[in-house]
Amino acid sequence: MSLIESIKTAFVSLKSNKTRSALTMLGIVIGIASVITMVSIGDGTKQLIIGQFSSLGSNNIFVEPGSFSKKMEGNQGMQSMMEEMTIKTLKYEDYKAVERDPLVSKAAPLAFGSAKIFYKGKDFKATYLGTTPAGVSILASAEFIYGNNFTEEDVKSLGRDVVLGYKVKETLFGEEDPVGKIIRVKDNNFRVVGSLDQQGTQMFMNLDEVIYLPVTTAQKVVLGSDHLQEIVVQAKDENRIEETVESIRLTIRDRHRIDNPEGDPAKDDFKVVSQKETAEILDTVIGIFTMFLSSVAAIALLVGGIGIMNIMLVSVTERTKEIGLRKAVGARESDIMTQFLIEALILTLIGGAIGILFGLFFSFLAGIILGMVLATVWSFSFPFAAILWAFGVATAIGLVFGIYPARRAARLNAIEALRYE
């Protein structure tokens, strides 16, 4: 029997049991669609992170409380990051010392939290960022629509002036000029001195839902603390980032009286990372997470392969007489084996093609949903390598799980097969 005739016969056989064939392909479809969707979302997340970091510039450095080793402790990384929110090793004086570093262009202290903002019966749950006027210029890329920034005098005197993000202003004031109006934040009154234009999402934070206030006020009046959660630094020279990072480490070690002559970051009670290092860490974490999810999704491919083997074995049993008749008229074992292998391959290849289409559809749909949830532009990623890999795996599954039923069919004795009831 020629290859073309074998393919035609395989299609006739599969069409005669449409429901069973469809259910057999389902595991392959789900597995391949899941893998492609996971890889596409992972790639889209990487592109989003790169875009978020690029929007801030390449010379940013981040100083955070807690030793560097804690954040990198295997599967306890996320827990350690949450714990860092309560670590009190980073102080306002550390920010002032870093700001004086000759390699630093700007520095901004950050003390933040979330609270409901009230104005004349209206409220809005916003993130408040305690920082300095320079910090607002570093973090906010938008222009002022109304008013201006608060001042350094506000920082020194625990001033009650505040700058509103675009959505906060629109929700509380609509078209009204908010400058000079009094809002309430955690039972404390603040005077609005300015509001910003739309900015969208940066670093996974919607800056339109943020208010900015003097860092000292945020610490002592709103939070009731004396520590910072972060210091954002801009280096003067992009070509001297590593040197700037090391200089900041030495400055804070000196302030914290940490004896660390070997320069081991794990011995510090703080960490200093460049924007590039932060992006690389997040990229690695997302890569591992994507691989894990893809591996879980790939289990469906294995289940699908087992399903194909089971169905093909049932098919061998049902078609025993047919196999005996073919052998009686001269069909060789290789012809019978080829016939059943082709049927298994057709099932997996059709399932693979459908899985790829579903995977691309769900990837696109997930991108739209995630873009809406994160309030950002999500780049749809076409995972060409994952598609090739998935199709290759589907072909391999068809061959591997089709071999046993095919060999069993090929080895049937012609006379016994003809007598089978």
CB hemisphere CA count around 279 (13 angstroms): 21
pTM: 0.62
DSSP string of 253-269, one letter each residue = HHHHT---TT--GGGSS
Under-50 pLDDT residues of the chain: 70-82
CB 196 within 8 A of CB 211: no
Condensed to tens digits (0 to 9), the pLDDT of residues 68-93 reads 654 444 444 444 444 555 577 889 99
CA distance 144 to 135: 15
**What pLDDT sits at residue 420?**
55
Closest CA to 190 of 139, 126, 95: 126
**What pLDDT sits at residue 178?**
94
CB 303 within 8 A of CB 396: no
Q: Which two structure tokens, joined as six digits, stand for 228?
A: 């910072």
Cβ-count burial of 281 within 10 angstroms (0-12 exposed, 13-18 middle, 19+ buried)?
middle
Q: Hey, what's the torsion of the CAs at 45, 50, 52, 54, to 10 degrees?
A: -170
Condensed to tens digits (0 to 9), the pLDDT of residues 280-314 reads 666 777 777 777 766 766 676 777 777 777 777 77
Q: At which residue do the structure tokens 């299609």 appear?
A: 11
**What pLDDT sits at residue 81?**
47
CA distance 304 to 389: 16
**What pLDDT sits at residue 344?**
79
